[in-house]
A = this chain, B = another copy of it.
Amino acid sequence: MNPIPAKACGPGRPKDLEKRAAILEAAKDLFLEHGFDGTSMDAIATRAGVSKLTVYSHFTDKECLFTEAVREKCIEQMPTALFDVDVSGSLRDQLIAIAQAFFSLVTSDASISLHRLLTTGAGGSTKLAQKFWEAGPQALQCAFSGFLEREVAAGQLQIADVRRAAEQFFCLIKGDLHARQLCGCANASFDKAEVDAHLAAAVDMFMCAYAPLRQA
């Protein structure tokens, strides 16, 4: 659409950017679906509608393209702190809402594929996994810790270590459905009622453990 941004960058790049975007889009799709080894540079180039050398002109090698694609997919997948904007409901309702949002986030196809990619990433990409973890799950836990702290201050909960409680909450919500899904396990049942029961049970168990009316 945009003709050309005049003379923005280097020696001259007419339609550079949209081709780069197409390549990244193709890379994201294929890497997520078939993994690192299962995706060839040919396939990426073909799907992007460009030649293989064009791919290599934008990205030095396969691992570089992989890293960039995963990074983009991560920030694309990251919610805009969607879960702490519940208001004016009972604490249980708020926790249920957070649980539903978190569960549907981590069990989405994109999240599952991302997890799989990172568990088997290109060679030893520990740095990438590290960054993903800090920017993703850890940030969510941190934000949820803030939520819990406000509830504790309001006398709705009684928690000594808020950080650890946040971790426990998310682990309970994920349950083993998430683990089964990661394994590609077939019996990962996703009956809506089943999931709702699971989430409600997790929230109730959490609230029961951290209810303010007990003298432990």
Which chain B positions have C-beta within 8 A of A183? 115, 118-119, 129, 132-133
Asked if A180 is an interface residue, CB under 8 A from chain B, the answer is yes
Which chain B positions have C-beta within 8 A of A118? 183-184
Min C-beta distance of A122 to chain B, whole Å: 11
> In whole angstroms, how far apart are the Cα atoms of A210 and B111 in the complex?
32
Pairwise interchain contact A186-B37, C-beta atoms closer than 8 A: no
A27-38 toward B: CB 8 Å interface, digit per residue (1/0)? 000000001011
Min C-beta distance of A201 to chain B, whole Å: 5
Copies of this chain:
2
Pairwise interchain contact B216-A126, C-beta atoms closer than 8 A: no
Tell me which of B172, B180, B201 contacts A172 (CB under 8 A): B172
Asked if A175 is an interface residue, CB under 8 A from chain B, the answer is yes
Asked if A182 is an interface residue, CB under 8 A from chain B, the answer is yes
- Known contacts A116-B119, A119-B120, A209-B205; A133/B182 CB under 8 A: no
Known: A119-B182, A125-B184, A127-B186. 7 other contacts (CB 8 A): A126-B184, A126-B185, A130-B185, A167-B175, A167-B176, A168-B175, A205-B210
Pairwise interchain contact A174-B175, C-beta atoms closer than 8 A: no
Pairwise interchain contact A130-B186, C-beta atoms closer than 8 A: yes
A176-191 toward B: CB 8 Å interface, digit per residue (1/0)? 1001101111110000
Min C-beta distance of A128 to chain B, whole Å: 9
Min C-beta distance of A192 to chain B, whole Å: 17
Chain A interface size range: 35 or more
A105-127 toward B: CB 8 Å interface, digit per residue (1/0)? 00000000001101111001111
> In whole angstroms, how far apart are the Cα atoms of A168 and B187 in the complex?
18
CB-CB nearest in chain B for A170: B176
> In whole angstroms, how far apart are the Cα atoms of A94 and B149 in the complex?
32
> In whole angstroms, how far apart are the Cα atoms of A209 and B141 in the complex?
21
Asked if A146 is an interface residue, CB under 8 A from chain B, the answer is no
CB-CB nearest in chain B for A177: B167
- Known contacts A137-B176, A171-B175, A209-B209; A185/B129 CB under 8 A: yes
Which chain B positions have C-beta within 8 A of A127? 186
